């Protein structure tokens, strides 16, 4: 079976070579481009399994490129950027990116994020699996029924909506705005306090130590991640 293919979209050629060498050492098939237009052409022709995307491209802002890629591909997109503003991170994730790494970062961290992205895609997007497991828990995405070791854990309707949304994007960052839209609708944009209250409740039902959550992890300023396993 062929190893997954990864498209690197990065105009810094030195950085691109570092990424490519590290990924090829791990066995991945790597293609690299230095512009947004070239990236779209590669997405259409090669259909990569995962995309590493820098936001600072010479021909198009990466924040605009993400939704353009999404018109042609469901592959995980990991943004790798020097931009540290939370607003840019939220925009990238809300427009369709799956994860965000701020430069500088270590190669092991990048490889770990790639493994998570590929694992998530294989589990849900390709296999169509309707049950997501984490720890002793299983969540049926169809019925939103949560069980722990075979016994049902009672969730309110809103709690089940939030958990199902996180589970559909397991191990990826889901922004607070996205959670608001899924659970309450577009009329509730910017009411972040709603999400905090219900995540607090979910943690008390799921986590052994709600103050130090293992599964329902907060991504500061961005949203939340359902962590299914330690990498």
Exposure string for 30-61, b = 16+ CB within 10 A, e = fewer:
bbbbbebebbbebbeeeebbbbbbbbebeeee
pLDDT band of residue 59 (cuts 50, 70, 90) is: very high
Percent above pLDDT 90 for the chain? 52
What's the pLDDT at 221? 82
More confident of the two residues 230 and 186: 186
Structure tokens at 72: 């042609």
Cβ neighbours, 10 Å, residue 149: 8
- How far apart (Å, rounded) are the C-alpha atoms in residues 84 and 1? 38
pLDDT tens digits, 25-52? 999 999 999 999 999 999 999 889 999 9
Residues in the chain: 231
- How far apart (Å, rounded) are the C-alpha atoms in residues 118 and 97? 14
pLDDT tens digits, 154-163? 999 889 989 9
- How far apart (Å, rounded) are the C-alpha atoms in residues 209 and 72? 42
What's the pLDDT at 126? 46
Mean pLDDT of 95-109: 88
Mean pLDDT of 73-101: 88
Backbone angles phi, psi at 182, to 5 degrees: -70, -40
Percent above pLDDT 70 for the chain? 91
Structure tokens at 30: 């790597």
Class of domain 5-126: alpha beta
Domain ranges for the chain, please list them.
5-126, 131-226
Lowest-pLDDT choice from 51-55, 148-152, 186-190:
186-190
Q: What's the CATH number for 131-226?
A: 1.10.10.10
Lowest-pLDDT choice from 114-118, 151-155, 186-190:
186-190
Structure tokens at 96: 């369709």
More confident of the two residues 59 and 144: 59
pLDDT band of residue 127 (cuts 50, 70, 90) is: very low
More confident of the two residues 129 and 195: 195
Helix (H) or strand (E) holding 173: strand 173-175
What's the pLDDT at 22? 94
- Say what the pTM is: 0.71
Q: Does 170 have pLDDT greater than 80?
A: yes
């Amino acid at each position: 079976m062929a190893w997954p293919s990864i498209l690197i979209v990065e105009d810094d050629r030195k950085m691109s070579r570092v990424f490519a060498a590290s990924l090829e050492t791990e066995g991945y098939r790597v293609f690299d481009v230095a512009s947004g237009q070239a990236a779209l052409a590669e997405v259409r022709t090669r259909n990569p399994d995962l995309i590493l995307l820098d936001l600072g491209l010479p021909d198009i802002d990466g924040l605009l490129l993400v939704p353009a890629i999404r018109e042609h591909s469901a592959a995980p997109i990991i943004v790798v950027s020097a931009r540290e503003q939370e607003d840019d991170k939220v925009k990238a994730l809300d427009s369709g990116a799956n994860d965000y790494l701020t430069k500088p970062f270590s190669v092991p961290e990048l490889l770990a994020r790639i493994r998570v992205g590929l694992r998530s895609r294989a589990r849900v997007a390709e296999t169509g699996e309707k049950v997501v497991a984490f720890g002793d828990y299983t969540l049926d995405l169809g019925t939103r029924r949560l069980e722990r070791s075979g016994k049902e854990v009672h969730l309110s309707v809103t709690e089940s909506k939030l958990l199902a949304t996180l589970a559909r994007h397991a191990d990826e960052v889901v922004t607070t705005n996205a959670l608001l839209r899924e659970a309450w609708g577009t009329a509730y944009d910017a009411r972040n306090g709603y999400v905090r209250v219900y995540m607090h409740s979910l943690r008390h039902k799921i986590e052994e130590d709600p103050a130090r959550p293992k599964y329902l992890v907060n991504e500061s300023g961005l949203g939340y991640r359902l962590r299914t396993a330690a990498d």
